[in-house]
Amino acid sequence: MEIISEYVSQITSLGWFFIILTTCIFILSVIYGVGYLRHYKTTTKELSLHWGMFTLCYAGMMCLYSTQSMLWFLVGWELMALGSFMCVIFEAGKPVVLKAGMNYFVQSHIGVLFITAAFVWVYSVTGRMDFNTIPLFIASISEIQQVIWMMMLVCGFGFKAGLIPFHSWLPHAHPAAPSHISAAMSGVIVKAGVYGVIRFGGYMTMGQSTLGVIVLVLAILSALYGIVNAADGRDFKRILAYCTIENVGIIFAGVGLAFIAMGMDMTALAYLGLMAALFHTLNHAIFKVMLFFSAGNIYVSTHTRDIERLGGMLKIMPQSGLLFLIAAIGIGGLPPFGGFISEMMLYSGFLKGMSMDSLPLSILMILSGAALAVVGGASMLCFTKTFGVIFLGVKRDNDVKPNLIADKYAEQNDMTYPIWLLLPIVVCIVAFPTVLCSLFQDCVKEIYHLSMSADAAYSISSSIEVLQSISIGALALIMVCAVLGFIRWWLMKRRPMAEGPTWGCGYMKPIQGIQYTGQSFSGTLAEIFGFMLPKSRHYEPIQPEEVFPKHRTMLNVSQDAIEKGTIAPIANGVVHFLQKFQWLMNGQLQRYIIYGFISVLLLVIAAIIF
Amino acid sequence: MSFLLILLASFLFTGIVIRTKSIAQGRKGPSVWQPMYDIWKLLHKGSVYSTASSWIFKVAPTLYFASVVVACMVVPVANLGSTIGFAGDFIFFAYVLGFGKFFTIIGALDTASSFEGMGSAREALFSMLVEPAFFILIGSLGLLTGYTSFADIFAQFHFEGEISYAIAAIAAFVLLMICMIENSRMPVDDPKTHLELTMIHEVMVLDNSGVDMAMIHQSTNMKFALYSALIVNLFIGAVADTWAQIALFFGIEFLCAVMVGIIESFMARYRMTHNAQFILVLTSLALLLYFGIK
C-alpha cells in the first residue's frame, strides 16, 4: 500500500499538453487501426491481445505524464515500453518483425537502465522517490555531477526519442509495426523522451550550458543524419522512421538551445527554445500521423513498401495522396503549414543566440542555424522524392497490382477520415500560433523557475507576437495562390487543351522503366554524404571465362552507418564473450540440478559468513 | 510600392541579359522587350498535357509563381517598405521560395519523364546546398545591425560605418551567385544548351506549355529582379531622397542584369559534379563574412 500512496497525482501544464496530445493520437490510431487490421487474416484472440496491449501502453503513458513520483514514472514507462513492444510484434510470425521487436525491446530497456540509475542516485541521497526531493538532491551535488546526472537522463530518454547514437531500433521497428502503431509510436510514444528531458531539465541549477552544448550538438547531428538517411531510403516506412529521427533532432535542438541560454542567463532565449521544441513536438505528431496513415493506405492497397515499385498512385488513391502531400509540406517545414512556424522560432532563437559574447557559442549557433537550413533543404529533397515516386508519374512495376477493393475501402471508409480529422487542427495551428505559444509559455513557466526581468518578459511577448505575422504571411501565400489559380482558370477557359504523351526528348517509345527512380533522385546526395550511408552491394561480377553470361541481379542496400559502426560491434562482442560459457549449457538435466545445488550451497555459505 | 518596383524591373531584366549576351557575341540581338512578347504570346496559347500527369502538374506552375510573388512582397526597396515584414522575415523569404520549388519539382516528376526527373533531382540538391549560404549571409548582416528583418537590416546597414561597404561588396557577390544558382544560370546550369541531359531548370519545364509556361517564365524574371533588389538594398542606404533611390534601384538592377549577361558570355558551365563544391565555396565565403563581423 505504501507504493500506491507514493503515486502523487499532480498534473503539470506540460503533463496536460502531452496527455491531450497522446489521447487524441491514440483515439485516431484506434479508429484507423480497426480499419487497417481488417486487411490482415487475424483471429479474435490476436486482435484482443493487440488492442489490450495498446490500451496498456496508453495507461502507462497516462501514468508517467500524471505522476510526481519517480517510482511511478518508471512503472508507467515500463508499461508503455511493454505495451508498445507487443503492438509492434503484431505479425510475430514473420522473423523480421520479431527481430525488429526484440531490438526495440532490448534497446528501450537499456534506456530504462540509464533512467533508473539516475533515479536511484536521487534515492540514495534523499531516501525518497517523489519529484519534490530532486531539488534537495541537486543542491547536494556539484556542477559536474549535475551534468552527469542529467546526461544519464538524456541518454535514457534519448533511447526512446531516437536521438543518435541511440536511434538504431527506430528504422527497424517502424516498418515492422502495423501503420497505426507506427503512427502512434512516432507521433507520441517517441515524444515521451522529449517530455522526460524537458521535465527533469528544470531541476538543474548549474552547468546547463555544458549540457546544452552536448544536447544541441547531438540534436543537430541527429537531424542531419536522420534526414540524409531518409532521403536515401527506398522503403517508405523506413523513410518516415528516419524522418522521425530528424524531427526529434529539431525538437532537441530547441531544448539544447534553451539549456545553453539558461546557462548564459538569457531567460527570453530559453523560453523561445523550449516553446519551439514543444511547438515542433505538436506539429511533428500531427503530420507524422497523417503521413503514416496515408502510407498505410498505400501499403494496404499494394502490399509493398518499396517506393521503386510504385508510381502514379495519386490517380488511384486521390485522397490519401492529397493528405500525404499536405503532411509532407508541413513536416518539411515549408509554409503555409505549422511546421514552418516552429522551425522559424528555432531559427530566430539561433539568430538571437548569435549575439552571445562567447565566440565558440556564437559559432555553434550560426553553424546550427546553417545545419538547420541544410536539413530543411534535404527534407524537401526527401519528400519530393517520396511523394513524387509513390504518387506521381506512372507505375514502375507491373507486378504491383493495386487491390481495387482495398483502395475503395481505404479511400472511402474509416481509413481516410481519421486523417481528415487532423486537418482542422492543422488549420488552427496556422491561424492561431500565438494562442498556442502562450499555452506553451505557461507549460515552461511552471517547470522552469527562471528569473524574469521586464526586458525578458517583453522579449518573450514580442517573439510570440511575431508568430501572428508569420501566419499572416502564410495567409498571404494561400491568397495569392487562390487568386493566381483563379486567373489561370479564367485564362484557360478559352484556350484549347489537348492531351498527349510526355515529351521524350526525341525518344518516341518511352516505357515506364525509363522514369527517374528514387535511388537516382537521391544518388548525388548519397555520394556527398557517403560517409553516413555505407552501401553494401550484392553483385556477382562477370568472369572473363564466362562466354555467355547468365542472368544476373544487382542489389544496393544502404546501411545505417552508426548501427554498423558502433552498435553491431558491441553486440557481436557481447555475443562472442557469452559464447565462451556455452559449455555450461550442455542439455544434461543432471548437470543443471548440480548447478542449482551448488548455488544454494554458495548462498548458505555466504549467509553463514556474513 | 517595393513590390511594383520589383515587378517593373522584372519585365526588362531578362531582356537586358539577352541583349548583353548578344552584344558580347557581336550580334545585334533581339529587343529588350522580347521576353515580355514571348510571355504575352504564351498567354494566348492553349496547353498540352501529358497523359501520365495528374492535377499536380497543372497546379504546380501556379503555386511556383505564387511563391515568387509572395517572396517579392517580403523584400523592401530602400525605405519604401515591404508588404509583409517581420523579425526573421528573410527565413520566410527562403522558405516561401522553397514552397514554390517543392511544387516545381513534383510537377516535373509528375510527367514520368526521365529527363525531367534528372532536372528535378539536381534542382533539389543544389537548392539544398545554397540554403546555408543564404542563412549565414543574412544572419551575419543581422548580427552586424542587430535586427533580423530585411527592412531593419537594410535601413541600419548604412550606419555601421565604412566597413559596411566592404561587407556589402562580398555580400553582393555571394547574392549574385546565389541568384545565378537559384535561376539555374551559367556557372551552374546552361539554359541555352541543346542537350537536355545537362540542364537543370529548363529540363524540368519541358512539358509545360501555354499559360503555365508564361507563369514559369515570369517567375524566373521576377526571381532575378528579386535577388538584385537585395543587392540594391546593400548600397542604397546613403541616398535619402525617394526619387533618387528609385533611380538608383533601376540603375543597380540594370548593372546586375549586365553582370549576369557578362558572366553568361564569358564563363563556361561547370561540370555537374563540381557544382556542389562551387556552391559550398559560397557557404564558406558567407562564413568568412560572419567572422569578419564577429
Would you give the DSSP letter of residue A166? S
B142 interface with A at CB cutoff 8 Å: yes
Per-residue pLDDT, A198: 93
Of A234, A243, A237, A392, the C-alpha closest to A300 is: A237
Check if A530 contacts B (Cβ < 8 Å): no
Dmax (CA) for chain A in angstroms is 102
Task: Assign B61 a pLDDT band (cuts: 50, 70, 90).
Answer: very high
In a domain, residue A75? The reply is yes
Instruction: Confirm or reject contact between A463 and chain B (CB < 8 A).
Output: yes
3-state helix vs strand vs coil in chain A, percent to 5: 75, 5, 20
Enumerate residues 1 to 30 of chain A having a beta carbon within 8 A of any beta carbon in chain B.
Answer: none
Residue A495 has what pLDDT? 84
Query: Given pLDDT bands bounded at 50, 70 and 90, which one contains residue B294?
Result: confident
The DSSP-derived string for A435-496 is: HHHHHHHHHHHHH------HHHHHHHHHHHHHHHHHHHHHHHHHHHHHHHHHHHHHHHHTS-
CA dist., res. A331 & res. B273, Å (int): 29
Distance CA A23, CA A61 (A): 10
Note whether A500 contacts B65, CB cutoff 8 Å: no
Residue A408 pLDDT: 66
CA-nearest of A397, A407, A179 to A314 is: A407
To test the contact with chain A by mutation, choose from B83, B95, B127 the residue with the greatest count of A C-beta atoms within 10 A, namely B95
User: What's the pLDDT tens digit per position in A269-295?
Assistant: 999 999 999 999 999 999 999 999 999
Residue at A407 is within a domain? yes
User: B272-293 vs A359-391: helix axis angle to the nearest 10?
Assistant: 150
Contact assignment for A335 to B91 by CB distance below 8 Å: no
Q: Does B26 touch chain A (CB under 8 A)?
A: no
Tell me, yes or no, whether A197 lies in a domain: yes
Q: Cell numbers for A372, please give them.
A: 538547420
Decide the pairing of beta strands A497-500 and B47-50. Answer: parallel
Strand partners, A67: A9
pLDDT digits (tens, 9 = 90+) for A546-582: 888 888 888 777 778 888 888 888 888 988 998 888 8
Q: What is the CA radius of gyration of chain B?
A: 19
User: Grid coordinates representing A321?
Assistant: 495522396
* Residue A541, in any domain of the structure: no
Q: Which of residues 491-520 of A touch B (CB under 8 A)?
A: 491-492, 495-505, 510, 512, 514-516, 520
In a domain? residue A181:
yes
* Cβ contact, residue pair B51, A505, below 8 Å: no
Q: Which residue of B has its CA nearest to A353?
A: B143
| Identity of the residue numbered A217 | V
Work out the number of other CB atoms within 10 angstroms of the CB of residue B66. 27
Provide the residue count of chain A: 610
**Chain A contacts of B87, Cβ < 8 Å?**
348, 462-463, 466
**Is the Cβ of A312 closer than 8 Å to some Cβ of chain B?**
yes
Domain membership flag for residue A7: yes
Which ranges in A164-317 belong to alpha helices (H)?
Answer: 170-176, 179-184, 191-201, 208-232, 236-263, 267-302, 313-316
d(CA A285, CA A25): 8
Burial class of A445 by CB neighbour count within 10 A (0 to 12, 13 to 18, 19+)? middle
Residue B190 clears pLDDT 80, i.e. is over it: no
User: Can you name the residues that pair with A499 across neighbouring β-strands?
Assistant: B49
Whole-angstrom distance, CA of residue A533 vs CA of residue A590: 51
- Residues whose CB falls within 8 Å of the CB of residue B56, separated by 6 or more in sequence, listed in order: A314, A325, A391, A392, B103, B106, B107, B110
Phi, psi of A537 (to 5 degrees): -110, 125
Please list, in sequence order, all residues whose beta carbon lies within 8 angstroms of the beta carbon of residue B250, skipping any fewer than 6 positions away: B9
Sign of the torsion angle spanned by Cα atoms A341, A524, B228, B240: positive
Residue B183: exposure state from Cβ atoms within 10 A (0-12, 13-18, ≥19): buried
* Average pLDDT of the residues of chain B: 86
Q: Domain range holding A239?
A: 2-479
Q: What angle do CA A177, A183, A186 make, to 5 degrees?
A: 95
Identity at A338, one-letter amino acid code: G
User: Higher pLDDT residue, B112 or A228?
Assistant: A228
pLDDT in tens, A473-503: 899 999 999 999 999 999 888 888 888 888 7
- Could you tell me which residues are beta bridge partners of residue B47? A497
Q: What integer is the mean pLDDT of B91-96? A: 92
pLDDT digit string, tens, across residues A352-383: 888 888 888 999 999 999 999 999 999 999 99
**A512-527 burial string, b = 16+ CB within 10 Å, else e?**
eebbbbbbebbebbbe
Nearest CA in chain A to B109: A388
Is there a contact between B237 and B144 (Cβ–Cβ < 8 Å)?
no
Residue A69 lies inside a defined structural domain of this protein: yes
Task: Answer whether B222's CB lies under 8 Å from B69's CB.
Answer: yes
Closest CA to A369 of B290, B125, B179: B290
Q: Among A478, A413, A419, which residue's Cα sits nearest to residue A286?
A: A419
Give the three-class secondary structure for A203.
Answer: coil
User: Which residues 35-54 of B have a C-beta within 8 angstroms of A?
Assistant: 43-54
> Does the residue A26 lie in any domain?
yes
Across A273-294, b (16+ Cβ under 10 Å) vs e yields bbbbbbbbbbbbbbbbbbbbbb
Asked if the interface predicted TM-score (ipTM) of this complex is over 0.90, the answer is yes
Task: Give whole-number Cα distances, A123 to A116, A119, A409, B19, in Å.
Answer: 10, 6, 54, 79
Coil, strand or helix: which one is A306? strand
- Identify the helix (H) or strand (E) that includes residue A332: none
pLDDT below 70 — which residues of chain A? 1-3, 8, 403-413
How is residue B113 written as a grid cell? Answer: 519523364
CB contact under 8 A, B105 and A388: yes
Instruction: Name the residue among A252, A260, A250, A268 with its Cα closest to residue A210.
Output: A260
Q: What is the tens place of the pLDDT at every residue in B47-57?
A: 888 888 889 99
Domain count, chain A: 1
Tell me how crowded residue B284 is: count the other CB atoms within 10 A of its CB: 12
Helices (H) and strands (E) in chain A, counts: 26, 3
Return the pLDDT at B291: 84
pLDDT of residue A503: 77
Output the CA–CA distances (angstroms, integers) from residue A516 to A5, A116, A513, B98, B119, in the order listed. Answer: 63, 50, 8, 22, 10
CA A74 vs CA A120, A130, A170, A460, A583: distances in Å: 11, 12, 21, 34, 37
Q: Which of residues 388-447 of A touch B (CB under 8 A)?
A: 388-389, 391-394
Would you give the DSSP letter of residue A399? T
β-pair partners for A558? A535
